[in-house]
Amino acid sequence: MFPWNKIDTVLLDMDGTLLDLHFDNYFWLSLVPQVLSEQKRLPLKQAKHLVENAYAKVFGTLNWYCLDYWQQELELDITALHHTITHKIKMRQDSMPFLRALKAQGKSRILITNAHPNSLALKLEHTELASGLDHMVSSHETGFAKESPQFWEALFERLPIDPERSLFIDDSEAILHAARNAGVAYQLGINNPDSQQPHKVFRDFPAIHDYQMLLTDLQAK
């Protein structure tokens, strides 16, 4: 699928790409409306509607991923709520074999995530993800979400990455487009980010459901 001899760096999203997105989907779409309903004494349907409207207003911006923003906006202790469901934080089963294979082939493995630093720290605490990475960058450190061209400018200034010899993997087609526009040579979608949801359809990029599909070619190089 890819010319691995022309790829030095693999840039990897976290939620849905290396970790099962079910944790985040459950948290934001089920737990938050439920707790908001209880604390504000609203019907659950109304709480869900309120939350969905609030999400839509900032979708694709850094605030959409910012725990501090949502703590203030929804008047909920978002960080404390995260800690109540840490048992749902799980890696994709195919992630570590892939990350180990990348290391064996001398590829640099860089996590680039829109996750808030507190969320990133919690997920690192409850998984073995850190052992499979060479660098980690939260978009909050740059001030721009990955959807923004400024994020990619900041990333390339911060780390010695040659975008023309890089592959970016993400479960969001919009962010894959942002990477392509920033000059990243290769993109790959993940079409099963949430283990409990149907596969997604990617229109403009190749997509896979299992990293095992890449290992034969990768290990042959």
Structure tokens at 180: 């392509």
164 has pLDDT over 80: yes
Q: Give the pLDDT mean for 53-72.
A: 93
Tell me whether strands 166-170 and 9-12 are parallel, antiparallel or unpaired. parallel
pLDDT tens, residue by residue, 177-215: 999 999 999 999 999 999 999 999 999 999 999 999 999
| Residue 167, phi then psi, degrees to nearest 5 | -115, 135
| Residue 144, phi then psi, degrees to nearest 5 | -140, 145
Res 114: pLDDT: 97
Sequence length of the chain is 221
Structure tokens at 165: 């010899």
Res 82: pLDDT: 95
pLDDT band at 1 (very low <50, low <70, confident <90, very high): confident
Cβ atoms of 160 and 177 closer than 8 Å:
no
For CA atoms 130, 138, 10, 135, the dihedral sign is negative
221 has pLDDT over 80: no
Q: In what order do the strands lie in the sheet with 108-113?
A: 135-138, 108-113, 9-12, 166-170, 186-190, 207-208
- What is the C-alpha separation between 109 and 170, in angstroms, rounded? 14
Proportion of the chain above pLDDT 70, given as a percent: 100
160 has pLDDT over 80: yes
Residues 6 or more apart in contact with residue 38 via CB below 8 angstroms: none
pLDDT tens, residue by residue, 75-108: 999 999 999 999 999 999 999 999 999 999 999 9
pLDDT tens, residue by residue, 9-43: 999 999 999 999 999 999 999 999 999 999 999 99
pLDDT tens, residue by residue, 95-147: 999 999 999 999 999 999 999 999 999 999 999 999 999 999 999 999 999 99
Res 60: pLDDT: 87
pLDDT band at 220 (very low <50, low <70, confident <90, very high): confident
- What is the C-alpha separation between 220 and 107, in angstroms, rounded? 14
- What is the C-alpha separation between 199 and 193, in angstroms, rounded? 8
